[in-house]
Amino acid sequence: MRRNMRRRVFCGVAVAILAFAVSPAVAADINFTIPISQNGFESLTKEAGTALAYRNLAPPEPLGITGFDIGVEASAMSIDEYSEYWRAAFGNDAPAYLIVPRIRVRKGLPLGIDIGAMYSYVPDSNVKLYGAELSKAILDGGAATPALGVRATYTKMTGVDDMGLQTYGVDVSISKSILFLTPYAGVGMLWIKSEAKGYLKAIGRSDVSTTVPRYFGGLKITPFPLFSVTAEAEHADKPVYSLKVAIGF
């Protein structure tokens, strides 16, 4: 009976996260119709890149050659909706938070290597996002030893006529499983590149490249086989909070 209760609680959490992930995240398209300064475009690049970058949301333990994981996740980052650059991006109707839902798939390969991909469509906006990840376990982890791994990621934003955005990331993380709990932490670096197109190019804005250090920590909870919930907090340019529900083996 206790196991059934725990199953119902975690399934309820999964439903709540899924509802959160598919709820409207922004009030309008990103569509530049008012001027933005070059400094403002640089700030926008850094904050948008931080919000849209590939999240970790997994300990470094490898999935194994037969392992597979598919999940839905959502990340939230607060922004200054009264700033010049976000008002320019959203036509004076910027939200207080950027909430980005994603669908994510990971597959284990030999030699402690995992590959993955993700896709996002932000509801009620023109923002679409896709990306890929490649990770390698340096230590697989065991009863007495932690897991240690490195990872590389890539994301690209599409759908916004006036701005292109890409991110590249590398990080290293460590974890240690304790029963059905796996806490983890890591550090890394994020490279963000934006391209001025359309209106932004017409008003003389230049492309931007910037780097942002990132620090993150999270907890993966596996209350029963095949099902997990992962919560993570990251600080890059700003704090980003994420939740993921996944099914895997």
In the prediction, which pLDDT does 67 show?
94
Per residue in 133-172, pLDDT (tens digit) is 999 999 998 888 999 999 999 999 999 999 999 999 999 9
| Half-sphere exposure of residue 195: CA atoms within 13 angstroms, side-chain side | 11
Residue 27: the pLDDT is 47
Q: Residue 33 has what pLDDT?
A: 86
Sorted by sequence, the CB contacts under 8 Å of residue 221 that are 6+ apart come out as: 10, 180, 181, 182, 228, 229, 230, 231
At 3 the pLDDT is 53
pLDDT for the residue numbered 15 = 47
Q: Is residue 26 very low, low, confident or very high in pLDDT (cuts 50, 70, 90)? A: very low
Domain total in the chain:
1
* CATH code of residue 199: 2.40.160.20
Query: How many whole angstroms separate alpha carbon 137 and alpha carbon 113?
Result: 6
pLDDT of residue 200: 95
Question: Which of these, 249, 185, 180, lies nearest to 220 by C-alpha position?
Answer: 180
* pLDDT over 60 (residue 24): no
pLDDT, tens digit, 9 for 90 and up, residues 166-214: 999 999 999 999 999 999 999 999 999 999 999 999 999 999 999 999 9
Structural domain for 238, as ranges: 2-248
Q: In the structure encoding, which two tokens stand for residue 119, read together? A: 């896709």
- Token pair for residue 159? 């759908």
The pLDDT value recorded for residue 92 is 84
pLDDT at 46: 96
Q: Which of the 8 DSSP states describes residue 36?
A: -
Confidence of residue 9 (pLDDT cuts 50, 70, 90): very low
pLDDT score of 143 = 80
